[in-house]
Structure 1
Amino acid sequence: MELIRDKLELLRVLLNEQCSNLEPWQIVSRTAAITLIASYVYSQATHKTPFSRRAKKWVFRQVRRLPMVRNQIESEMVKLKDSFEEELLTPSQELADHSHLPQRGMPKEELLQLTKKYLDVGEFHWSEGTQSGTVYNCNDDLTQLMTEVYGMAAWTNPLHPDSFPGLRQMEAEVVRIACRLFQGGPDSCGTVTSGGTESIVLACKAYRDYARNIKGIENPVMVVPVTAHAAFDKAADLLDITIKHVPVDPITQRVDIKAMRRAISGRTCLLVGSSPQFPHGSIDDITAIGKLGLDYDIPVHVDACLGGFLVVFMKQAGFNIRPFDFSVPGVCSISADTHKYGYAPKGSSVILYSKPVFRHYQWFTCPDWPGGVYATATIGGSRAGGIIAACWAALMYHGMDGYVECTKKVITTTRYIAEEIRKIKGIKVMGVPEVSVVAIGSDDFNIYALSDAMKKRGWNLNALQFPACLHLCCTMLHTKEGVANRFIQDVKELTGEILANPEEHKGGSAAIYGMAQSLPDRNLVNEITWIYLDSLYAIKKK
């Protein structure tokens, strides 16, 4: 203590000597200047967006102000707009525009015929198994059942449990069934949502508020693999949470656990793993992520939106599966889409928690509204009761045996396709196709050329980036006789054609995706996607 006092006294003397020749206003102004500089440096150091990224954006903004650059970009954007609109409008060019409300309502039969005409347009026929994902079941009996059940519950709304007590019971039972499937304990709980994105956003909202209220973390950060679904980025944007992306192993495409550990800080509110992840179908090491969560007292969320209702049945179907559910210590929540391999209609998912305290921070409450105390379980207020009823019916219809049998077919087909793809010269399987996704890349040619070639044969595959590849998400449609073999044969033939004549396959998606990945100004990519999204709402011009 004596030594510290001596050093402080020395510092006092030195400061007084430095200030002895300064007037009071100089001392005040210099102190203020130093404070402002220190405050600015601190704000930059703790900014949610890294300085390097902000600096890069600033440079690109200045470059784009140059007339030559600005004019070139505007010209290309107009061309893209025309291209997107032409692509989207061509399939429906035979449909008459209905851009005004008809003066008189259409008769029922006429309206049904017109509806069928609208829904029949398009070059891709999902019922033939040519789509990646998109539609997950092809059971006509199930389709009829879903239609009838939805019709019975079309006017119900879970926002009014007193008016629709049976619907409330259905939702509670869906949640309870899902909790048991994912090995949740007696305290496990959850809600039905409108889809995987809402499930993920709600989980992020819960952990943001949990971190703020329980741990006092005002500006929380979530740590996710780069392969985690973009819904986490959407949640970060909507909820004002900082998101930190962690690299994955280049071979397995599973998250790098050491890198995830390094990314953890005192502000981390959430760790994320996927089971499986969307791009390549690999399952992250959930056990290791759970251990990180326990070591640092951070909640762990498992995103099983894509294959959740496959992985829970894989053991019963005879397949080995990496640990992924509530039986893994540290796992606090799981998202899983019932509208994928749960075979419910689109607009159905579940978000599950290991204990109620996390779900409490998902709720939205407004106790002081003049309209009454307002509280909702999910993002929406009113919700489609028909979707909940149909989801419940899908679970009851399949039962354990039905889901196990479907899982056996989907996994067997996926692994068969992956095995055969590995035999084809010029392409390779990316990651580990552990569930229902087979990702295909190439070291010999632009893989997007294969996507374009497959499209001409009726296949519609998902194009991926960083690294460049494409994937097929297998569904029950691909388990139909002959579909998998036709896919393999088309890939084999077209890969051979591309290798023999690579110059003939440089346009289309190969050019567009190649450009999108190479653009250093990612804001340009954003603007291209804006144009595409705008084009989704185009109708034919008069």
Structure 2
Amino acid sequence: MKDPIEFMQQNLAWLPRGIMSALEKFLRKLPPVQRIIEAEYAKIMPELEAGAKPYQNMLERNAELPDSGVARTRILNEMRKLKKLEEQRWQKGFVSGAVYHGDKAHVDFLNQVYALNSQVNPLHSDLWPSATRYEAEIVSMTAHMLGAGWTDDPEQQIVGTVTSGGTESILLAMKTYRDRARAERGVRYPNIVVPVTAHAAFDKASQYFNIKKITVPIDGDFRADVKRMRRAINDNTVCVVGSAVSFPHGVIDPIAELSEYARERNIGFHTDACLGGFILPWAQQLGYPVAPFDFRLPGVTSMSCDTHKFGYASKGTSVVMYRGENLRHYQYYTITDWPGGMYFSPTFAGSRPGALSAACWAAMMSMGAKGYRDATARILKTAAEIKKGIQAIPELEILGDPLWVIAFRGRADSNIDI
């Protein structure tokens, strides 16, 4: 018997999403369907296990603490062995994403910076004020790269926070909009309006913070459909979202039109530039056509931008930015009457690894504008060659008009299924 869920998804895709979702939930509860799903899981689980745990037959498993400490030399030798095994794939160029800077000298430099700051905790800024400096300058440098101008107006100043990654940046921004709408507009049932191509972190935010996510289809260019996005916005909408660039197709959503409409409705607009934030400004300087997407647009009220991608920092840093201190205020958590004293946390974590912020700052300072511009030029030149190669194959087509994140598929009249 064919999987009924798959059959439904393939043949009933014309149904409204709500009906599809309800029908899928109903089918999954039927015993025959459950047996089919369990049988499919049984087929794929061994392969998934092997991929997720490739060392289970190579290394001793440590389920409990050893009775006495293991020699440090042995620990380091084991880690070096694993490192050598794991770095082969990306060093040979067989990985798309995940590793963004393979230069050994750069990585060694960041590792030295991390070692110097391994005990630093930004939660205790009185002990480590250097962490405060690093993070403030990371935010400022990123914001000015993304169109922040100098102003004395506190509601137009671009402010922000260093986070653990793009997902946390997005989660914090959505939590911020929810809390502001609750406090200033009395919104009890908030929603966000996002294109279907928006990052999965927006789904996560909607589940975590009880925000309804209104997902809108994309247009023929694989960008957010402006008319449908506008129709989806209502009085409970706390934020509209656009990507620069989108993860699935590498294109920039029509952020100028979307953000201006959000501004007219007095609704926040978030540009997710986690993937493109450290490429697009330099691409524009190099003369490539880049649609407006950043704080130069008055309707853009927040942005997320990953320093640990094309910012070439160590893994574990991103920046979330807001237009105005008042908006950022809703991100923070403070308690003043705890018996242990006042507790303040700008992000979800309390204690954080200050070494990552130090390494991020060091990466940005060592690269400089010229370093990022040169790296972007090489990336875009390589992407142009890849696109040229795909276009030379008649059976293939590129989805949309991407700059460097390239998605392609077999043409409808070909027998290629990608």
Does TM, scored on the shorter chain, surpass 0.5? yes
1:75-120 Cα deviation digits (max 9, x unpaired): 3323332231133334663223233322222222222111111223
CA drift of 1:74 comes to 2.7
Choose the corresponding residue for 2:201, options 231, 234, 256. 231
- Of 376-385 and 76-85, the range deviating more from structure 2: 76-85
- Provide closer, same or farther for how the CA distance between residues 128 and 286 of structure 1 changes in structure 2, counting only shifts above 3 A: same
- In structure 1, distance between residues paired with 2:21 and 2:276: 36
Give yes or no for contact 1:345–1:391 (8 Å, CA) kept in 2: yes
CA drift of 1:73 comes to 3.0
- In structure 2, distance between residues paired with 1:58 and 1:71: 15
- In structure 2, distance between residues paired with 1:78 and 1:115: 33
Indicate the residue corresponding to 2:291 in structure 1. 322
Indicate the residue corresponding to 2:120 in structure 1. 156
Choose the corresponding residue for 2:43, options 65, 79, 82. 79
- In structure 2, distance between residues paired with 1:427 and 1:164: 54
Identity %: 40
Structure possessing the higher radius of gyration over alpha carbons: 1
- In structure 1, distance between residues paired with 2:250 and 2:51: 30
- In structure 1, distance between residues paired with 2:265 and 2:115: 49
Indicate the residue corresponding to 1:359 in structure 2. 328
Residue 246 (str. 1) matches residue 213 (str. 2)? no
Structure 1: which 5+ residue stretches go unaligned?
1-48, 449-542
Give yes or no for contact 1:124–1:131 (8 Å, CA) kept in 2: no
Indicate the residue corresponding to 2:245 in structure 1. 276
Give yes or no for contact 2:395–2:416 (8 Å, CA) kept in 1: no
Size of the aligned set, in residue pairs, is 395
1:334 partner amino acid: M
- Provide closer, same or farther for how the CA distance between residues 133 and 54 of structure 1 changes in structure 2, counting only shifts above 3 A: closer
Structure 2: which 5+ residue stretches go unaligned?
1-15, 152-156
Indicate the residue corresponding to 1:260 in structure 2. 229
Q: TM-score, normalised by structure 2?
A: 0.90
Give yes or no for contact 1:418–1:433 (8 Å, CA) kept in 2: no
Q: 2:102 aligns to what SS in structure 1?
A: coil
Indicate the residue corresponding to 1:113 in structure 2. 77
- Provide closer, same or farther for how the CA distance between residues 180 and 122 of structure 1 changes in structure 2, counting only shifts above 3 A: closer
- In structure 2, distance between residues paired with 1:289 and 1:60: 37
Residue 439 (str. 1) matches residue 403 (str. 2)? no
Give yes or no for contact 1:317–1:405 (8 Å, CA) kept in 2: no
**Correspondences of 1:133-532 after superposition (within 5 Å):** 133-185=97-149, 186=151, 187-250=157-220, 252-434=221-403, 436-442=404-410, 443=412, 444-445=414-415, 447-448=417-418
2:407 partner amino acid: A
CA drift of 1:264 comes to 0.8
1:175-206 Cα deviation digits (max 9, x unpaired): 11111111113311000000000000000011
- In structure 2, distance between residues paired with 1:148 and 1:350: 23
Choose the corresponding residue for 1:52, options 4, 8, 19. 19
- Of 218-227 and 312-321, the range deviating more from structure 2: 312-321
- In structure 2, distance between residues paired with 1:257 and 1:95: 53
Q: 1:157 aligns to what SS in structure 2?
A: coil
- In structure 2, distance between residues paired with 1:128 and 1:61: 42
- In structure 2, distance between residues paired with 1:327 and 1:114: 50
- Provide closer, same or farther for how the CA distance between residues 177 and 90 of structure 1 changes in structure 2, counting only shifts above 3 A: closer
- Provide closer, same or farther for how the CA distance between residues 258 and 278 of structure 1 changes in structure 2, counting only shifts above 3 A: same
1:440 partner amino acid: F
Give yes or no for contact 2:27–2:33 (8 Å, CA) kept in 1: no
- In structure 2, distance between residues paired with 1:211 and 1:50: 27
Indicate the residue corresponding to 1:465 in structure 2. none
- In structure 1, distance between residues paired with 2:61 and 2:263: 58
Q: TM-score, normalised by structure 1?
A: 0.70
- Aligned-CA RMSD value: 1.9
- In structure 1, distance between residues paired with 2:35 and 2:114: 52
Give yes or no for contact 1:204–1:235 (8 Å, CA) kept in 2: yes
1:447-476 Cα deviation digits (max 9, x unpaired): 44xxxxxxxxxxxxxxxxxxxxxxxxxxxx
**Correspondences of 1:2-151 after superposition (within 5 Å):** 52-53=19-20, 55-62=22-29, 64=30, 66=31, 68-90=32-54, 93-122=57-86, 125-151=89-115
- In structure 1, distance between residues paired with 2:342 and 2:416: 57
2:185 partner amino acid: K
1:207-228 Cα deviation digits (max 9, x unpaired): 0011111111111110001001
CA drift of 1:249 comes to 1.1
Q: 2:319 aligns to what SS in structure 1?
A: strand
Q: 2:215 aligns to what SS in structure 1?
A: strand
Indicate the residue corresponding to 1:22 in structure 2. none
Q: 1:101 aligns to what SS in structure 2?
A: coil
- In structure 1, distance between residues paired with 2:179 and 2:382: 42
